[in-house]
């Protein structure tokens, strides 16, 4: 596994705009903490930092959180040596102007990174690391570089803490569930972190009619709201839908990033959404189902197919994903694509093993910056 090229202790400014349920902030926080763990000094700017109160209540040494206000408060601020624009956000002109001045004063090369969204599509490898000259404004003459997270050696990799596997090995499932007040009696555990998936009703029916007892652990927010709404509808129109009580449901409080990892490790199957939770589910090494964020031009279908291709997902898992995400016409149903996680474990195990052979995103980013500077 590649080691980190010797890099001086640098000051980083990471900028993030919260767009969809704090997923972008979650990625940026993990990145900031990982970089700080490598001896870097990191300032994280976000336009809504409220979620960090439950996402990362303990904070992290070496990471300073700043509110990204409009106009930007530059009082006492000197830009760091490295700028990171996360997911297409644009840093304020006044900050960029100060950054350009600082580079001139210290005769330093520009280290400006455009951190892109995660994708298994071919363009991620093709565009990873490419320069993007700035042609106008206070940054004219500077060069940004695209940095694409990805699943292969020719991309930017995935976020992973150095001690992740050791912590996972030490994890005590029973103790963690007891601490949350989840009454687990050995039944199958399934986590649910989603938006409002097309296949939710069918999944609940499948679990209720299954031979194996299942406890569904539902995350706080949109997933809980979606399940509660579906249960109201079922109880009204099919009052005996869970007559055998094969399905039990536990609603969880907001979870810190650490406890979200614990949830994925505790469960036998994980339903996830967004970029951060998908990556964490891959590290968990359990069968997973991804509720991908829908895009108006159907670009999410291509993105999902590319991920499933990389995963080498069996036919049953591909079919289930299409039903879960509502990608079939007419109205999708999981009846023809049953919930069969016993057939999905092998690809999850192999994917995790393959990824563990690669350097993580922070290591690759530090090596990339070292080459620039």
pLDDT digits (tens, 9 = 90+) for 130-166: 999 999 999 999 999 999 999 999 999 999 999 999 9
**Residues 194, 342: one domain?**
yes
113, β-bridge pairs:
84, 145
Query: Does residue 5 belong to any structural domain of this protein?
Result: no
What's the total number of domains in the chain?
A: 2
Residue 1's pLDDT band (cuts 50, 70, 90): very low
**Residues 75, 216: one domain?**
no
Domain with 131 in it: what CATH number? 3.40.50
Query: Does residue 311 belong to any structural domain of this protein?
Result: yes
Residue 290 near residue 273 (C-beta atoms within 8 A): yes
Nearest partner of 164 among 361, 346, 311, 16, judged by Cα: 361
Query: Does residue 82 belong to any structural domain of this protein?
Result: yes
Query: Does residue 55 belong to any structural domain of this protein?
Result: yes
Residue with tokens 């839908």: 241
Of residues 361 and 327, more confidence is placed in 361
Helix intervals (H) in 272-358:
274-284, 299-311, 315-324, 345-356
Is it the case that residue 84 has pLDDT exceeding 60? Answer: yes
Is it the case that residue 20 has pLDDT exceeding 90? Answer: no
**Residues 210, 278: one domain?**
yes
**Residues 138, 63: one domain?**
yes
pTM (two decimals): 0.94
290, β-bridge pairs:
272
pLDDT digits (tens, 9 = 90+) for 204-248: 999 999 999 999 999 999 999 999 999 999 999 999 999 999 999
**Residues 181, 327: one domain?**
yes
**Residues 136, 264: one domain?**
no
**Residues 69, 213: one domain?**
no
Tally Cβ neighbours within 10 Å of residue 13.
23
Query: Does residue 3 belong to any structural domain of this protein?
Result: no
- In the residue annotation, 275 being an active-site residue is answered as yes
**Residues 186, 317: one domain?**
yes
What is the domain extent for residue 250?
164-356
Instruction: Select which of 13, 24, 261, 276 is catalytic.
Output: 24
**Residues 352, 239: one domain?**
yes
Instruction: Select which of 116, 121, 275, 276 is catalytic.
Output: 275
**Residues 204, 316: one domain?**
yes
**Residues 248, 108: one domain?**
no
**Percent above pLDDT 90 for the chain:** 88
**Residues 363, 347: one domain?**
no
Tally Cβ neighbours within 10 Å of residue 105.
8
- In the residue annotation, 24 being an active-site residue is answered as yes
Is it the case that residue 53 has pLDDT exceeding 80? Answer: yes
Angle at 46 between CA 129 and CA 44, to 5 degrees: 65
Residue 257 near residue 29 (C-beta atoms within 8 A): yes
Residue 336's pLDDT band (cuts 50, 70, 90): low
Average pLDDT of the chain to the nearest whole number: 94
Burial class for 2, CB neighbours closer than 10 Å (0-12, 13-18, 19+): exposed
Query: Does residue 230 belong to any structural domain of this protein?
Result: yes
Query: Does residue 262 belong to any structural domain of this protein?
Result: yes
Query: Does residue 1 belong to any structural domain of this protein?
Result: no
pLDDT digits (tens, 9 = 90+) for 91-130: 999 999 999 999 999 888 999 999 999 999 999 999 999 9
């Amino acid at each position: 596994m590649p080691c980190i090229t010797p890099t001086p202790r640098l000051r980083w400014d990471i900028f993030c705009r919260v767009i969809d349920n704090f997923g972008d902030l979650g990625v940026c926080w993990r990145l900031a903490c990982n970089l700080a763990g490598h001896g870097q000094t990191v300032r994280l700017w976000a336009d809504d930092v409220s979620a960090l109160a439950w996402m990362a209540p303990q904070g992290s040494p070496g990471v300073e959180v700043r509110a990204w206000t409009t106009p930007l408060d530059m009082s006492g601020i000197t830009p760091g040596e490295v700028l990171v624009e996360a997911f297409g956000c644009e840093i304020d002109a006044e900050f960029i102007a100060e950054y350009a001045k600082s580079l001139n004063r210290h005769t330093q090369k520009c280290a400006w990174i455009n951190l892109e969204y995660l994708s298994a599509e071919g363009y991620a490898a093709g565009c990873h690391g490419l320069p993007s000259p700035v042609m106008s404004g206070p940054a004219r003459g500077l060069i940004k570089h695209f940095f694409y997270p990805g699943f292969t050696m020719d991309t930017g990799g995935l976020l992973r803490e150095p001690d992740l596997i050791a912590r996972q090995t030490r994890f005590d499932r029973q103790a963690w569930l007891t601490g949350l007040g989840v009454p687990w009696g050995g039944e199958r555990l399934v986590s649910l972190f989603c938006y409002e998936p097309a296949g939710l009703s069918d999944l609940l029916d499948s679990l209720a009619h299954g031979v194996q007892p299942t406890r569904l652990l539902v995350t706080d927010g949109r997933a809980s709201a979606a399940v509660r709404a579906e249960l109201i509808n079922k109880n009204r129109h099919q009052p005996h839908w869970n007559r055998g009580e094969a399905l039990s449901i536990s609603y969880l409080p907001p979870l810190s990033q650490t406890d979200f990892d614990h949830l994925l490790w505790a469960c036998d199957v994980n339903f996830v959404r967004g970029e951060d939770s998908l990556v964490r589910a891959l590290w968990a090494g359990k069968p997973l189902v991804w509720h991908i964020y829908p895009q108006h031009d159907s670009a999410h279908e291509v993105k999902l197919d590319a991920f499933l291709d990389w995963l080498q997902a069996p036919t049953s898992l591909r079919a289930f994903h299409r039903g879960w995400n509502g990608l079939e016409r007419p109205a999708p149903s999981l009846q023809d694509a049953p919930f069969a996680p016993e057939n999905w474990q092998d690809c999850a195990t192999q994917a995790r093993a393959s990824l563990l052979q690669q350097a993580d995103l922070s290591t690759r980013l530090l090596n990339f910056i070292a080459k620039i500077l």
